[in-house]
Amino acid sequence: MTDDSIIWRCISYKSISGGMNWWRQEVMFDDMVATERLSAYCATLGERGIDKITVKRLGTLSYVMENGAKLGFDKIRSGADRISKENKIHKLEEY
């Protein structure tokens, strides 16, 4: 990645059934993704059964790093998780 890479905020939703009469959209993941990795990220979400993705352009990598606090870089949507955080968690089977 270079400083010119565009960073996107991707919030994904999955439809949850509550019975015969209602459906709701539950927030699943809230990640910051570079343009170069956006297609692979969408493929990962597709494998996980995600129904809807909202994508917002945040700016270049250097801009996002300088202005992260103003953009809400540290805060994720309530109820969501980050796929990058899952990759950092080691499973007990590995030890």
What does the pLDDT read at residue 74? 61
Give this prediction's pTM. Answer: 0.70
**How many residues does the structure list for the chain?**
95
Question: How does 7-41 read in b/e, with b if 16+ C-beta sit within 10 Å?
Answer: bbbbbbbbeeeeeeeeeeeebbbbbbbeeeeeeeb
What does the pLDDT read at residue 63? 87
Higher pLDDT: 71 or 14? It is: 14
Total number of domains in the chain: 1
What does the pLDDT read at residue 43? 92
Q: Is residue 48 part of a domain?
A: yes
**52: its two tokens:** 């809807």
Q: Is residue 55 part of a domain?
A: yes
Residue 45 and residue 28: Cα distance in Å, rounded? 10
Q: Which domain holds residue 10?
A: 6-94
Please give the average per-residue pLDDT across 65-71, as a whole number: 75
Q: Is residue 81 part of a domain?
A: yes
Report pLDDT digits (tens) over 16-67: 777 777 777 778 888 888 999 899 989 988 998 888 999 999 889 888 888 8
Q: Is residue 1 part of a domain?
A: no
